[in-house]
Amino acid sequence: MKPIRSIFASLPAGFIYSVIVLAAMSGCGTSQANQSGGPQVASLPVLKVSTLPATTYREFSATLEGRVNVEIRPQVEGILDKIFVDEGAYVKAGQPLFKINDRIYSEQLSNARATLLAAKANLEKAQVEVDRITPLVNNNVVSDVQLKTAQSTYQAAKAAVAQAEAQVGNANINVGYTLISAPVSGYIGRIPYKTGALVGRSEPQPLTLLSDVNEVYAYFSMSEADFLKFKNQTSGNSIAEKVKQLPPVELQLADKSIYTEKGRIETMEGQFDKTMGAISFRASFPNPQGLLRSGNTGKIRIPEQFAQAIVIPTEATFELQDKVMVFVVADSNKVSGIPITIAGKSGNYYFVEKGVKPGQRIVYSGLDRLRDGAVIAPQQISLDSLLKVKPL
């Protein structure tokens, strides 16, 4: 056997250098591991799951319409002579809105009246003829055929008078249609036509849209799952009774503010929309200040009361494959991710239906550094301290 020195002497110098470097690195790593005493344990805040009485809201997108929305359309064709109102103005029922040139219809009325006068004159003439022939027939001077002819002429003249009267009435109606008045009180919408425009019943656009918004309707839809939940959780023997039992609802406007007046859900459609898989409801809101207008959008918020709800901060959750998860801390301080079912949300807090139980511990923050099976050094915090900073 060769001595160790002779063996090293026969090796290349580069190889010997590499061995020395590797040995030094191994020694350093062993030294550092010994100094640290093993892998580092993360120190993270931990929250004990607890219950609180709470109110949460189910939210549904809604569109608003006035209680009455009337398309103002002309009933006769003609030149738009006058526009008495401006867009956005509030008008009362019966107030004039538009005037169509009535010259043609006034002439038609005059012609109908002249026709009526002529028909009445013919009727009087026919009556005179009947009165003249009747005694002659009674005295057998002339044949009764002449009387029957005179009577037929009288009946025809009478029918002509009735027809002429109808023509006068129709002409009067057309003249009346040239002045368009508000059928209800409300706000004027956009007016696409200007003075001098030719308007008529065949035009695709109405003259304007008149909205009565003293009360507004909010239309929203529930999915089949939400509808079944409503049906199962609301008391009542019929759907109509269940709708009446629903509490007053809130309206969240487009700027996230809550409308000051509460509303009531009044009606629902009789069947589901097959294409959408949803069924529509209608809620009614008073609008005494006229703040809401047709075409507004928002969200209907239906409140749900919880006597004792499991409350978890949203910061203590994370999403994985469309599931909301939390890290639960076991007695050995080992964490495991479990999914939870959300019953509702209020601000920065979730109300949990199932997944965790009161008394369990969950990691509050630092979730991005955790994996299933990791061991942590828990730092206990209380839900009360969080509620003081971020209330429900």
Q: In the chain, what's the furthest Cα-to-Cα distance?
A: 174
Please tell us whether the domain made up of 74-101+178-205 is placed in CATH 3.40.50.10800: no
Q: Where in the chain is the domain with CATH 2.40.420.20?
A: 43-57+306-389
Please say whether the dihedral angle defined by the alpha carbons of residues 267, 269, 270 and 272, taken in this order, is positive or negative. Answer: negative
Residue 181 confidence (pLDDT): 96
Q: How far apart are CA 104 and CA 39, in angstroms?
A: 99
CATH node for 59-65+214-303: 2.40.30.170
Class of domain 43-57+306-389: mainly beta
Rounded CA-CA distance 205/326 in Å is 56
Phi, psi of 154 (to 5 degrees): -65, -45
The Cα 302–Cα 247 span in angstroms is 7
The single-letter code of the amino acid at 382 is S
Please report, for residues 82, 223, 273, 297, the alpha-carbon distance to residue 276 in angstroms, rounded to integers and kept in the order given: 45, 8, 5, 19
User: pLDDT at position 39, please?
Assistant: 59
Report the alpha-carbon distance of residue 251 to residue 219 in Å, rounded: 11
For the CA atoms of the chain, what is the radius of gyration? 44
Residue closest to 310 by CA, chosen among 341, 269, 334: 341
Query: What pTM did the predictor assign?
Result: 0.61
**Cβ within 8 Å of residue 123, ≥6 positions away:** 154, 157, 158, 160, 161
Please, is 158 exposed, middle or buried when counting C-beta atoms within 10 Å of its C-beta (0-12, 13-18, 19+)? middle
Instruction: Please name the fold of domain 103-177.
Output: Helix Hairpins (1.10.287)
CB 113 within 8 A of CB 168: yes
Range(s) within the chain of domains with CATH label 2.40.50.100: 74-101+178-205
Write down the pLDDT at residue 22: 38
CATH 1.10.287.470 residue ranges of the chain are 103-177
CA–CA separation, 70 and 30 (whole Å)? 86
What is the pLDDT, as a whole number, of residue 1? 43
DSSP 186-203: EEE------TT-EE-TT-
Per-residue pLDDT of the chain (392 residues; tens, 9 = 90+): 444 444 444 445 444 444 343 344 444 444 444 444 455 788 999 999 988 887 778 889 999 998 888 999 999 999 999 999 999 899 999 999 999 999 999 999 999 999 999 999 999 999 999 999 998 888 888 888 988 999 999 999 999 999 999 999 999 999 999 999 999 998 999 999 999 999 999 899 999 999 888 899 999 999 888 888 888 888 888 888 888 888 999 999 999 899 999 999 998 887 888 777 899 999 999 998 888 988 899 999 998 877 788 889 999 999 988 899 999 999 899 999 999 998 777 778 888 888 999 999 999 998 888 888 999 999 999 888 777 767 77
Instruction: Give the pLDDT score at 344.
Output: 77
How far, CA to CA in Å, does 95 sit from each of 90, 185, 189? 10, 9, 15
Give the DSSP H/E element, type plus range, for residue 238.
none
Residues carrying CATH 2.40.30.170, the chain: 59-65+214-303
